[in-house]
Amino acid sequence: MSDYDDDDHDMAPNYDKMRGMGFICWREISATDDENHEDIQLNKKKKKKKKKRKLDAIETEQEIETPIKKVKTKKKKRSNETHMTSTLQITNENNKDEVETTTNNDSIEIAKKVWSDLYVSENIIRSLLEQKFFDPTPIQRLTLPTAIRDRLDIIGAAETGSGKTLAFAIPILTHMSKLLENNEMSYGQFTSLILTPTRELAVQIKSHIQTACRYTKFKTAVVVGGMSTQKQERLLSQKPEIIVATPGRFWELLQENNEHIIDMSNLRFLAIDETDRMIEKGHFEELEKILNLINKDDNNQIRQKFVFSATLMLQSSIDNEKKKQKNKKKKEDNQDKLATLISAVGMSAKPKIIDLTKEFGTAETLTEARVNCSLEDKDLYLYYFLTLYPGRTLIFTNSIDCIKRLQSILAILKRNPLPLHAQMEQKQRLTNLEKFSNSDNGLLVATDVAARGLDIPNIKHIIHYQVPRSTELYIHRSGRTARAEREGLSVMFICPEELFLYRKIIKTLNRNEDLQTFPIDITYLSNLKRRVRLASEISKLHHQVAKVANETNWYHKAAKELDIELDDNIRDIEKAKTANTKDIQKKEIQLRNELDLLLKQPLKYSSSLNISRSYPLLFGDPDQLASRRKNDMTALDELKHRS
């Protein structure tokens, strides 16, 4: 029996359906020719006799001949017209599909030629097109021919989100493929090293490389802090050709004489990403040691080097005066360190310099704004923004303590914030980044550890809850949105104490005017302020309870470790604190219930406001605002509407 026998009944023609579509079903009298041939012949004979009898009757009744013929003619005509119309529709749909397929094929062929003209190998082009990378970015168009065809060293600077990672990854992969074809390298040789300042960026770079080399057998490993030694040894035992590493962890492995990386005789490619961060304190010393070790090798003359950053040519204008006074020895500024780094990398005499940084330092598709407010009102304006303008939002602070406080308040307000800072374990950091990336309304509260190079898709808003301490940080923070020519919004919250930092950033970015003021409809703020005030009080009460619990646990743990009994005075203090804690918990529950009721209520307009009026706020017409809210006006739309 055929494998398809069970499905025969599903494949049989549905004549009722076909007749409804206007088809003339000549074979309706039978499902198959072979099995029912005799029945068909018999039916034909019967029909002929019946037809003859009808014709005889028609000859004797001439008065009904014409109407019958007309009716039959009309039916046939309608049937034929329906059949022709249906056939024409099917033909048109088929033609449309063919046109779309032809158009898509043409687009793919054009994209293939574009990448091919940049000297990218076919297997990499195939990977890029599958991931819908049809059009190279400006930094890629300028870098790839020079790096692949001319094999020049590259010093590149371009705005964040411009495709810098693939600008150095594609040449490396293309050359490795050619070396393999020419038997100048073999699988399992440590051929390429990419150094980056943060663990998150290292993981991201590995992901981009794997995207581009899907049709090669090259292996890529990440070597970063926060990963167990056993796991890293296992990864390196697989002999990856490409290693993406942070300087600190890579230097540790070099000192441990790891057999895979200690042999740099086959190292043909070196890339340093986020160079401006590398020259900061904490990275520069280890990086310099690594480069000195690499340059001892005889292959330095044929090794190709890439140095990339978003602010490579931008010098910071914000200096820490207190540190300068404490340290009498004159320190190198960033430009001197940059020159030292380029020298240490061992660049060729004439590297190709590609500087695409804009005059203003930020992406053209980025809209920048500010909110002038008091320090006390920052929480209120933050909650206002998050409530009225949904979308994936990244909030930056300058300290971990600030993150913890904001996380507590926003969680109480049901905003589901995700923290990201250096004190978190690597696994939890990556988990939070994944959750943030997978949620259209994700909310991430981070220190500047997240500002460097991370490519999180479709971030709509960047909130600088605290003004960044340097212009470079502002550029990197803001660069998390408006990536790949998409629009994005950056809003800086500025209190009087931070005004001097804001002024220096504006000056360094060559801005002749202040950032535009983000519109605030203060008719909402009274209701929101009550919610924020309750959340802040609840957070403080919760912190008090947690603090008492931690102290009590510490006393009992210490006594247990020392194998002693707690002093009576300590026990009395504990009892008093426990009694006080119960009162605090009751108050916290009461406030939470009050807040829950408020959160269930719709926002209302109010003219009785008790907020700081020292800063310029824009009043909105309630009817117009309500109308725009119904139309899902975004924060960018609001800003454009008011400007």
- Residue 511 in any domain: the answer is yes
- Residue 98 in any domain: the answer is no
- Do 420 and 520 reside in the same domain of the chain? yes
Assess whether pLDDT exceeds 60 at residue 222: yes
Give dist(CA 157, CA 354) in Å, integer: 6
- Residue 28 in any domain: the answer is no
The distance from CA 219 to its chain's CA centroid, rounded to whole angstroms, is 24
Give the pLDDT score at 11: 39
Number of C-beta neighbours around residue 459 at 10 A: 25
Last residue of a domain, one of 463, 494, 524: 524
- Residue 52 in any domain: the answer is no
Give dist(CA 470, CA 436) in Å, integer: 26
Assess whether pLDDT exceeds 50 at residue 63: no
- Do 283 and 216 reside in the same domain of the chain? yes
Give the pLDDT score at 361: 67
Nearest to 128 by CA among 142, 144, 111, 151: 111
How far, in Å, are 175, 179, 180, 181, 268 from residue 184 at the CA level?
A: 11, 5, 6, 8, 11
- Do 295 and 339 reside in the same domain of the chain? yes
- Residue 600 in any domain: the answer is yes
Nearest to 58 by CA among 49, 48, 67: 67
- Residue 11 in any domain: the answer is no
- Residue 45 in any domain: the answer is no
Residue with the bigger pLDDT between 341 and 487: it is: 487
Assess whether pLDDT exceeds 90 at residue 46: no
Structure tokens at 164: 């810098």
Residue with the bigger pLDDT between 263 and 468: it is: 468
Averaged over 477-496, what is the pLDDT? Answer: 90
Specify the CATH number for the domain of residue 376: 3.40.50.300
- Do 228 and 133 reside in the same domain of the chain? yes
Structure tokens at 13: 């023609």
- Do 473 and 531 reside in the same domain of the chain? no
Residue with the bigger pLDDT between 21 and 230: it is: 230
Domain enclosing residue 546, as ranges: 526-608
Domain count, the chain: 3
Contacts 24+ apart (CB under 8 A), 607-616: 607/523, 608/526, 609/522, 609/525, 609/526, 609/529, 610/526, 610/529, 611/377, 611/380, 611/522, 611/525, 611/526, 611/529, 612/373, 612/374, 612/376, 612/377, 614/374, 615/372, 615/373, 615/374, 616/372, 616/517
Give the pLDDT score at 540: 94
- Do 387 and 350 reside in the same domain of the chain? no
Q: What is the DSSP letter of 335?
A: H
Per-residue pLDDT of 255-280, as tens digits, reads 999 999 998 889 999 999 988 778 76
Residue with the bigger pLDDT between 382 and 49: it is: 382
- Do 553 and 425 reside in the same domain of the chain? no
Nearest to 162 by CA among 1, 277, 309, 281: 309
- Residue 302 in any domain: the answer is yes
- Do 183 and 252 reside in the same domain of the chain? yes
Residue with the bigger pLDDT between 24 and 54: it is: 54
In contact, 474 and 505? CB cutoff 8 Å: yes
Give the pLDDT score at 275: 84
Averaged over 55-63, what is the pLDDT? Answer: 43
Residue with the bigger pLDDT between 13 and 254: it is: 254
Assess whether pLDDT exceeds 70 at residue 175: yes
SS3 494: strand
Assess whether pLDDT exceeds 70 at residue 455: yes
In contact, 145 and 118? CB cutoff 8 Å: yes
22: left (phi over 0), alpha (psi -120 to 50) or beta: left
- Confidence band (pLDDT; 50, 70, 90) for 50? low
- Do 216 and 134 reside in the same domain of the chain? yes
Last residue of a domain, one of 509, 524, 539: 524
- Do 548 and 586 reside in the same domain of the chain? yes
- Do 429 and 539 reside in the same domain of the chain? no
Nearest to 250 by CA among 274, 280, 221: 221
Exposed, middle or buried by CB within 10 Å (0-12, 13-18, 19+), for 471?
A: buried
Structure tokens at 535: 């959340």
The pLDDT mean for the chain works out to: 78
- H or E element at residue 394: strand 393-396
- Do 445 and 516 reside in the same domain of the chain? yes
